[in-house]
């Protein structure tokens, strides 16, 4: 229904401007008889009566007037209730339908206002997500145990395999699906609307136009009824034309329209805030349609509950001619409607939509802005240490742990993999193996029951299927080479300090025999301890080997001294001035500290290094102060 601003009345949705009068249309005879059983008007006479009235209609409806057409709604029908057209039951049903519609719309507006107009993207959420990222998102506790991927990398890449941070991941994905991306520093001041905001603006435009049309419809009915206000109601039953309505009825209709205007305005404002707060693109259109259904719930119930007789009577009611008080203002009608809608949509954007978009942008920036490819841990003293991550997804899928689990799934493509996951066929071993779960390296080596290389045949035959093959693949992964096929082939890596110390500890856990966990005469710089890779069960053989060591410095060029000196040179990125035990008479610099390789046995051991006491017992004074840790027992003998 169209609209014109007060003080001049509005026109109907399908305006019938009466510059040229329309020919009279005769009401259907059966309908007249059904509606007005007491009226004995022949169809021809009825048509003649309508034709006779045409000249008067033409005089009344010129360029300074408009016609209001009754619509099939409870509110139009309410103007006719109690006038004899409808039965008392039908009139009561019309009133009930209108009252029910008002109540339902009011309840919907209250529910929307109380529960659905606030969005989750607030300054408080941004601050909470910032704190969560700093305290938990980069913590090493939440690094993927198989791929080594930090939690933030998986979250920001949209990984579907996250075990932690699911709530934060869902928030970020909702922001991404809205069309918002993390801002780069260069474009941090560039203002642009995401796709979701454009769709929200379209939804706001449609909703505002719908509410505006409803407001115009209410005002048009009200103005038409006011124009007919008189001392008493006059109805031309033969022509189905409402000529006059009483002032009391007019007041009731105006009050009803006022209530409708208030509820429509409430629904309009609440609906705008509801749509602006909808952060899901997929729900925007559905929410717009749902709001329109609520706005027109009166039409739904009227069509559903009213008898055909009532619907037909309202539809056949003759239009009401309303004279315009100031016809010269009608030219501004469409401009005012467009301006009103534009102002409402623009205000909605500035007051509700844009602030939410800004908070969503801040949410994306605080979650995934800057550097996400690192993790941290805090030591007992409170120092924070960073660990960078740069592995690609293809490298992650090539890890032993990934391949082992993938092969075990039996999914397509996994059959091409060599069996890598260890399967325990012995019931006795199953009870033992379960104890390894959750242990760190030291605890694992404390519990390890044998001191054997992982590819030793006895382990395979005891019920540990694929144990040796798994060890080989782990060795290849640790040292990034495909040339290793057994523990013995990896012997050169046992004391290769060009790799991280942790890798040297891991190879000892995999190949304790090859890497000298049983031997004290290898000249290894790695301390023999469960903390540094060697199973505790190897210590008995190690002590027996140490007893065979005579109390004399290793000869220059011997395997023991050469291995020890080479390891020190790799560790400190430079050789010592001399390649004999005399080099340990002065402190040696490495790891940023100066160590006395003889006296600082405990300090070296605590850092994972072996002192020089076993290699050079005389230089280190084991013959003077025997029975010290690391000294050969033979030095205590007279």
Q: What does the DSSP assignment read for 54-120?
A: HHHHHHHSSTTEEEEPP-SSHHHHHTTTTSSSS-HHHHHHHHHHHHHHHHHHHHHHHHHHHHTS--S
Least confident of 167-181, 284-298, 349-363, 389-403: 389-403
pTM: 0.62
At residue 8 the predicted structure's pLDDT band, cuts being 50, 70 and 90, is very low
Selected residue with higher pLDDT from 436 and 126: 126
| Domain final residue, candidates 387, 422, 457 | 387
Contact 348, 250 (CB under 8 A): no
Contact 565, 582 (CB under 8 A): no
Has residue 334 been placed in a domain?
A: yes
Has residue 38 been placed in a domain?
A: no
| Domain final residue, candidates 322, 355, 387 | 387
For the chain, report the end-to-end CA distance as a whole number of angstroms: 118
Selected residue with higher pLDDT from 603 and 318: 603
| Residue 5, pLDDT above cutoff 50 | no
Q: How far apart are CA 411 and CA 407, in angstroms?
A: 7
DSSP code of 385? E
pLDDT at 54: 41
Q: How far apart are CA 67 and CA 317, in angstroms?
A: 12
Has residue 521 been placed in a domain?
A: no
Has residue 84 been placed in a domain?
A: yes
| Domain final residue, candidates 361, 387, 413 | 387
Has residue 563 been placed in a domain?
A: yes
Has residue 52 been placed in a domain?
A: no
Has residue 39 been placed in a domain?
A: no
Q: How far apart are CA 565 and CA 42, in angstroms?
A: 126
| Residue 566, pLDDT above cutoff 90 | yes
178's CB contacts (< 8 A; 6+ apart) are: 194, 195, 196, 197, 279, 280, 281, 360
Has residue 457 been placed in a domain?
A: no
At residue 549 the predicted structure's pLDDT band, cuts being 50, 70 and 90, is very high
Distance of CA 541 to the CA centre of its chain: 57
Q: What share of the chain is helix, strand, coil (3-state, %, to 5)?
A: 55, 5, 40
Scored b (16 or more CB within 10 A) or e, 18-42 reads beeeeebebbeeeebeebbeeeebe
State pLDDT tens for residues 405-450: 777 777 766 556 565 678 888 788 888 888 888 889 999 999 999 9
At residue 120 the predicted structure's pLDDT band, cuts being 50, 70 and 90, is confident
Question: Number of folded domains in the chain?
Answer: 2
State pLDDT tens for residues 486-525: 999 999 999 999 999 999 999 999 999 999 999 999 999 9
Question: Which residue range is the domain that position 134 belongs to?
Answer: 1-19+61-387
| Residue 481, pLDDT above cutoff 70 | yes
């Amino acid at each position: 229904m169209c609209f014109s601003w007060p003080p001049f009345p509005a026109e109907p949705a399908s305006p019938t401007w009466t510059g040229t009068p329309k020919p009279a249309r005769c009401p259907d005879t059966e309908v007249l008889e059904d509606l007005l059983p007491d009226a004995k008007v022949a169809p021809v006479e009825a048509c003649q009566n309508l034709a006779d009235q045409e000249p008067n209609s033409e005089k009344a409806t010129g360029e300074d007037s408009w016609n209001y057409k009754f619509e099939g709604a409870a509110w139009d029908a309410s103007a006719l209730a109690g006038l004899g057209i409808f039965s008392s039951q039908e009139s009561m049903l019309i009133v009930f339908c209108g009252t029910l519609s008002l109540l339902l719309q009011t309840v919907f507006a209250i529910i929307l206002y109380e529960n659905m107009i606030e969005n989750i993207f607030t300054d408080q959420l941004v601050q909470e997500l910032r704190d969560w990222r700093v305290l938990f998102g980069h913590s090493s506790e939440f690094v993927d145990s198989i791929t080594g991927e930090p939690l933030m990398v998986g979250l920001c890449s949209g990984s579907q395999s996250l075990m932690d941070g699911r709530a934060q991941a869902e928030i970020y994905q909702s922001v991404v699906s809205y069309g918002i991306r993390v801002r780069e520093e260069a474009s941090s001041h560039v203002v642009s609307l995401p796709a979701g905001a454009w769709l929200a603006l379209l939804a706001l435009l449609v909703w505002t136009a719908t509410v505006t049309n409803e407001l115009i419809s209410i005002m048009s009915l009200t103005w038409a009824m006011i124009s007919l206000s008189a001392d008493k109601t006059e109805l031309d039953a033969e022509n189905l034309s409402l000529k006059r309505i009483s002032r009391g009825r007019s007041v009731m209709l105006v009050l009803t329209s006022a209530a409708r205007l208030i509820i429509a305005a409430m629904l309009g404002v609440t609906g705008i805030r509801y749509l602006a707060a909808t952060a899901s693109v997929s729900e925007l259109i559905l929410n717009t349609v749902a709001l329109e259904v609520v706005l027109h719930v009166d039409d739904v119930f009227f069509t559903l509950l009213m008898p055909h007789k009532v619907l037909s009577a309202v539809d056949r009611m003759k239009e009401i001619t309303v004279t315009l008080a100031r016809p010269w203002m009608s030219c501004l009608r469409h401009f005012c409607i467009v301006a009103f809608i534009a102002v409402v949509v623009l205000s909605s954007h500035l007051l509700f939509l844009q602030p939410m978009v800004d908070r969503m942008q801040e949410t994306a920036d605080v979650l995934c802005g800057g550097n996400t490819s690192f993790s941290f841990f805090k030591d007992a003293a409170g120092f924070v240490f960073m660990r960078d991550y740069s592995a690609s997804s293809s490298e992650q899928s090539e890890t032993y742990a990934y391949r082992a689990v993938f092969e075990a799934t039996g999914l397509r493509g996994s059959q091409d993999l060599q069996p890598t996951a260890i399967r325990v066929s012995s019931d006795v071993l199953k009870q033992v193996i379960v104890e390894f779960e959750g242990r760190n390296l030291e605890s694992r080596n404390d519990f390890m029951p044998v001191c054997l290389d992982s590819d030793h045949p006895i382990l395979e035959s005891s019920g540990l299927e694929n144990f040796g093959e798994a060890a080989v693949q782990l060795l290849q992964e640790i040292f990034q080479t495909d040339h290793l096929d057994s523990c013995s082939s990896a012997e050169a890596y046992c004391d290769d300090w060009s790799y991280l110390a942790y890798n040297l500890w891991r190879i000892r856990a995999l190949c304790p025999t090859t890497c000298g966990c049983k031997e004290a005469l290898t000249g290894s710089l790695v301390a023999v301890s469960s903390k540094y890779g060697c199973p505790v069960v190897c210590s008995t053989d190690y002590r027996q080997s140490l007893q065979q060591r005579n109390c004399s410095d290793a000869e220059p060029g011997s395997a023991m001294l050469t291995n020890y000196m080479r390891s020190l040179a790799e560790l400190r990125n430079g050789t010592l001035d001399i390649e004999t035990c005399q080099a340990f008479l002065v402190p040696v610099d490495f790891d940023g500290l100066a160590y006395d390789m003889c006296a600082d046995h405990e300090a070296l051991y605590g850092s994972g290094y072996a002192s020089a006491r076993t290699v050079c017992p005389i230089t280190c004074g084991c013959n003077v102060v025997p029975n010290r840790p690391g000294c050969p027992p033979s030095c205590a003998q007279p």
